[in-house]
Structure 1
């Protein structure tokens, strides 16, 4: 196959299968074939097939420990899948790109991609990828020292794995929970979780997994300096890895046994194990090779074999600087500094001491920044802070600092750079369009953002608004007119209230997404478009699909990534911020100088249910600012409006029963009108939304309004 020029997809697929088969037995041949396949893929004309082949080859390169190449190939595939809306492949690319970054020790990027795969797998119902993403998020958070988030994901994984009877998931979560406890010095608790993992894995038919559990038990006992027990567990793990011929894990275990002997100053024994590790490690696996080279340089120095020290140290330094993994650099630079100092080579010692502190400083800066951010997040001494509370997320138009909103901000940051369709869900008035605009600004700031409310335009006009029309398409079409889709070309199309789009248009919208073209009403000419679609709805689209009111295939294309906006009730901690923001906004509008809101007024606002969410709160603050004649908003401005009725005093009640009934009817009508005005104000005079909010129909609203008009 290597000698044949691969022009056909089937040839390349066969080559990829051959690569997979040769991964263990003939890795060099497999790598050569992979390099050849990589060049041939670009000969494939079909974009989708080319992307699938890039995806498969990317996974092969991951198996060679060529993580940079794997990541590039997977990202090439991802770019195409995102445009095509291939959700399952998008999810898999997110996950495996996360794997490459985890292997490269780029934990921030790993967390970003695993979060995306966790979110997407949740939408698709792929519980296995969701659990695997949770496991790797736990690992990545553990590596950056965020044990709280790590344990949160790992305990989630443990619970979900128990529900699904997923033994592998249970074992994986127990191992990593134990590693977190080791990280914070709770060694007894770590040993407890690792022993539990061992009990389960001994009855589970997976030798590699059992070896990994034994390995982690060995590490725990090494932390408490029980080297004899640690050695026993490492030796059992080593036996399994030898039986399975897993050279990478053999090398890794031999290296750790060498560390045990170094800690006990048994340098000859340490050298024996380090040399064995060097023999087993695949030379292309630079991540395994780098620490072994460092350790060999150090142990030769301790043994006084100085002629062998520098070659190993130089090789270790070359590897860590190529890999650019900070933890590897720290260990190697520290060893080089100590060894060269002892050898009286002070220039070299100073060189690596300087490099050590440069890396250490960059890690400390990142850790300090994270600690400060966490401290600020926890501290809420002063409810009235500046409007730039969420400055680190760069979304000044979205006000909030609650944990649930920070999660929304994180999701916006993650999805913005990926050209995927996004579905925003949340109740009326929660700020879905603001989130859509924030995604757009992070994605293509200078490109068009075109919004259309599917519920606000009559059905017979919505098609021409979306698709445009050709001259002469219907009476009154005296010129060609671009539709919203074409206007959004190379930018973002925001479909608000997508759940209200008629079924007849849903099929046409699906065709736009699939074919990436739009055909105006009355035209036969298709116009190519490149758009990102962000949709929003407060309705349950899954229920609509079940009731045949919404197309499942369209939902599948639009709901690639889902962002849920919380109700104001769920984030009441943000109300003081919002109040402060709206006071500032309406001070400018009404030329007022209101400084704050009184404590009792704020407590009152915090006690309300806010069914209309942020929009309702904004309307109340706007009215209060307008009516306020002081520099503080007092409770009367809110309570009076809420409780005031036109009910007369008992002295004014008519004596005659017939007159009383008329009097009572008038009061009831007035209350009905107040109610209708209230829900219309909350929904910005949008009658369909008011009906949805109030659980009443249009005819009821029109009847109440008409009755008052006729009086």
Structure 2
């Protein structure tokens, strides 16, 4: 590890010198680091964090394109380590497009991009990079690269929970390497085969693959993969309630982790022991190891790790029935989640746990307090699932208090959100089935066409059909273009009407505040409008209801009520409307210029390109580019 730090320090020194003479040395250091990351990507994932202190523009004069591409590769590994695979794909695309010549480096970048896209999953981007990788691997006749290509589709199908479809790709990848007597990567494919069988409930086969993977790990000195196999074997034994065996494997894992000196893995290993002892109802040892995990987290001083360890300890006390201790721990968990700005979903879960624990202590007033906090946060999230479970839990509290009128209100809300949640899941399943059906139909058509083309007489008929089809497509394309043009013009006119209505509403709100300055609610509304329209606070990407309330010197409940009353929407919808309005005005004022829509989204306050495009299309009825075209067409 000291060696890695010294390498990174040298890179930063060279970058700061900015001397052309030393650029070759810099490229050499980057190449050395790239090789180390490729050989063991799990040890150097934090390397990218250091590079992010330097803007890419600072590197233009001192490193070549290959070195830049390698830095993009390391950045992508960092994003993958924090589960930001969409960012990883975007970063890898930059590196891929930077390299014009075909090379192993370009293959490695494309492969990582395909794997990352497969895990999102984004089939379109995955296919793009997969096709390049497969063509390159087949041209070079490289069995390792061909096997790696096979694993891409395996990852995609496993992400989609289609484990049967993934199985043949995994077996093929492993078989290619076995036939060529190649050991590298086989530990990975055996691990995935084990996981695949485990997901299909073939636990004995899963165990065999995990053991094979561990044996291969010993030959390649892959400690990280060995730890993964330990964890899966522990999971298998826990599922079968064979806790003694699970405990033995977990202890072996802990010993291996201690050798790696990785604080996060050490914390997780202690937690694993705590969980097993808890399942065995061995409370003393369970508490001991959860506290060891917390101690390890505090020593490493990683707030997210501390929050996780505290959550596990709190859940342990709930399982044990020590509710007073659980309350103390969960209070601290919530404080840490506020410090690390945890997601609303994470905070809601902690608040609900606190409320349920107070219910167990028969302290209903405190239970109401935390349920109310949870419901307020639910208003700021789009998750109907969280809303449904929270309303259901509040219902149980009112039912316990025999306040049946209130209980009916919350059970009604629960049923409403639960129905909406089920409808969304059904819609997603339907879309998946339609995609699979269309794919099957395309495959059938291709097979039929291949058979028909074997006959020379049908070749002529097929060519004629293709010509006719092209003509029909061209005609349809021309007609469709005219229809789309009219549709875009119509949508734009509707947009202008909506925009005019919104401007009138905003003007009326301002006039209302001028004539009612003595009213506290109107004063707050006036301040809110000033922040939104004059200060343009919506452009902050980290803007939350809590930050807005702090700016207005009030609480989130009051701000939420004002927004609901005056704008007839929640906080997220209001902010998105202002952001979209900002974008539309910018597009209208620069309609003849080339606009970087992604950059415009970031400038208006959106945290990602996908969120911006989705919000814009929902609000306006078309994409930003279509909106710009609509403006030009309306001239």
The TM-score, its normalising length taken from structure 2, stands at 0.50
Does residue 342 of the first structure (1) align with residue 369 of the second (2)?
A: no
1:263-412 pair list within 5 angstroms: 263-278=279-294, 291-292=308-309, 294-302=311-319, 303=322, 304-305=324-325, 306-316=327-337, 321=342, 333-334=348-349, 336-343=351-358, 344=367, 345-350=370-375, 357-358=384-385, 368-369=426-427, 371-373=429-431, 375-376=433-434, 401-403=441-443
Aligned to 1:446: none
1:54-453 pair list within 5 angstroms: 54-58=71-75, 61=78, 65=82, 67=84, 72-81=90-99, 84-86=100-102, 88-98=104-114, 107-109=120-122, 115-125=127-137, 126-135=142-151, 137-198=153-214, 201=217, 205-278=221-294, 291-292=308-309, 294-302=311-319, 303=322, 304-305=324-325, 306-316=327-337, 321=342, 333-334=348-349, 336-343=351-358, 344=367, 345-350=370-375, 357-358=384-385, 368-369=426-427, 371-373=429-431, 375-376=433-434, 401-403=441-443
1:221 is displaced (CA, Å) by 1.2
Aligned to 1:499: none
In structure 1, the residue corresponding to 2:52 is in which secondary structure?
Answer: helix
Aligned to 1:500: none
CA radius of gyration, larger in: 1
1:72 is displaced (CA, Å) by 5.0
Q: CA RMSD in A?
A: 4.8
The 3 A distance-change label for structure 1 pair 297 and 336 is farther
Which segment is superposed worse, 142-151 or 214-223? Answer: 142-151
Which has the larger strand fraction? Answer: 1
Q: Is the CA contact (8 Å cut-off) linking 1:610 and 1:616 kept in structure 2? A: no
> In structure 2, how many angstroms separate the alpha carbons of the residues matched to 1:284 and 1:141?
38
1:229 is displaced (CA, Å) by 0.8
> In structure 2, how many angstroms separate the alpha carbons of the residues matched to 1:374 and 1:253?
37
Which has the larger helix fraction? Answer: 2
Which segment is superposed worse, 60-69 or 345-354? Answer: 60-69
Structure 1 unaligned segments of length 5 or more: list them.
380-388, 391-399, 406-565, 573-605, 624-711
> In structure 2, how many angstroms separate the alpha carbons of the residues matched to 1:60 and 1:374?
29
> In structure 2, how many angstroms separate the alpha carbons of the residues matched to 1:371 and 1:237?
38
The 3 A distance-change label for structure 1 pair 25 and 364 is closer
In structure 2, the residue corresponding to 1:165 is in which secondary structure?
Answer: coil
Aligned to 1:10: 24
In structure 2, the residue corresponding to 1:253 is in which secondary structure?
Answer: helix
> In structure 1, how many angstroms separate the alpha carbons of the residues matched to 2:303 and 2:131?
32
Q: Please give the per-residue CA displacement for 1:208-263, whole angstroms capped at 9, x wherever unaligned.
A: 43333222211211222211111211211221222233444333333333332343
Q: Please give the per-residue CA displacement for 1:293-350, whole angstroms capped at 9, x wherever unaligned.
A: 542443355543222212324545876955x9xxxx5x87555424323321321354
1:503-582 pair list within 5 angstroms: 568-570=448-450
> In structure 1, how many angstroms separate the alpha carbons of the residues matched to 2:18 and 2:43?
21
1:609 is displaced (CA, Å) by 4.4
Q: Is the CA contact (8 Å cut-off) linking 2:307 and 2:333 kept in structure 1? A: no
> In structure 2, how many angstroms separate the alpha carbons of the residues matched to 1:100 and 1:284?
30
Which segment is superposed worse, 311-320 or 301-310? Answer: 311-320
The 3 A distance-change label for structure 1 pair 250 and 613 is farther
The 3 A distance-change label for structure 1 pair 241 and 402 is same
> In structure 1, how many angstroms separate the alpha carbons of the residues matched to 2:84 and 2:300?
15
The 3 A distance-change label for structure 1 pair 63 and 616 is closer
1:189 is displaced (CA, Å) by 3.7
Does residue 616 of the first structure (1) align with residue 461 of the second (2)?
A: yes
The 3 A distance-change label for structure 1 pair 63 and 347 is closer
Structure 2 unaligned segments of length 5 or more: list them.
1-9, 359-366, 389-417, 469-635
Aligned to 2:557: none
Does residue 35 of the first structure (1) align with residue 52 of the second (2)?
A: yes
Count residues with an aligned counterpart. Answer: 398
